[in-house]
Amino acid sequence: MILLIGTKNTNKIKEISAILRYFNVEIKSLLDFPEIADVDETGTTFEANARQKAEAWAKSTGFVTIADDSGLCVDALDGAPGVFSARYAGLDKDYTANNEKLLKTLQNTPDERRTAHFITVIACATPEKGTLFTVTGTVEGMITRELRGDNGFGYDPLFFYPPENATFAELPAHKKNKLSHRFRALEVFAAKFTDYF
């Protein structure tokens, strides 16, 4: 069977494909369907956005689809950037600008209050039934005062993970993939997916 990963983000496609490589499915992404339009994320929660995207792309392609909405929630900022993580510094989804804005916003925040978590909500939908289920994965950490590491993407250079004494961007991909919020959500997804299919 074909499983569509609802994203054009090559970093996410690589990460999700690596985690799902043992499944007996043919993985496709939105890069295989350039004619399909993006879905506006109008939800106020990660789950609403994930469902919205999975349902729209399942209908337009005819394939079982998974779509996620992920973000960084900083406790000192009342959960911001949250659902606006990708567009925190503007509509063009600029990782560098997002990181710079976060550092500037937190510049006067003491270290002990720089706690944060990454969250991923994954929705799985079929063309006929809409959303079958959603799953959530989170990982707790701290926001550093400077960019550290060259791996990963997004806020990874600022997200310090205490058990590894490193930011996500300082970890090799295979290690980060086993610790990340996306991996934790995909582990739960794998069990539910097996039940449904």
184: pLDDT confidence band, cut at 50, 70 and 90?
very high
**Residue written as token pair 């959303």:** 131
State whether CATH 3.90.950.10 applies to domain 2-196: yes
Interval 106-159: pLDDT, tens = 999 999 999 999 999 999 999 999 999 999 999 999 999 999 999 988 999 999
pTM: 0.89
Over the chain, what is the mean pLDDT?
93
Token pair listed for 115: 């706690």
CA distances for 103 relative to 9, 147, 158, angstroms: 24, 9, 9
Question: Tell me, what's the pLDDT at 121?
Answer: 97
* Distance between CA atoms of residues 151 and 40, nearest Å: 29
Interval 169-182: pLDDT, tens = 999 988 988 899 98
Query: Which residues are identified as catalytic?
Result: 69
What is the average per-residue pLDDT within 84-100?
91
What is the average per-residue pLDDT within 83-112?
94
Rg (CA), the chain: 17
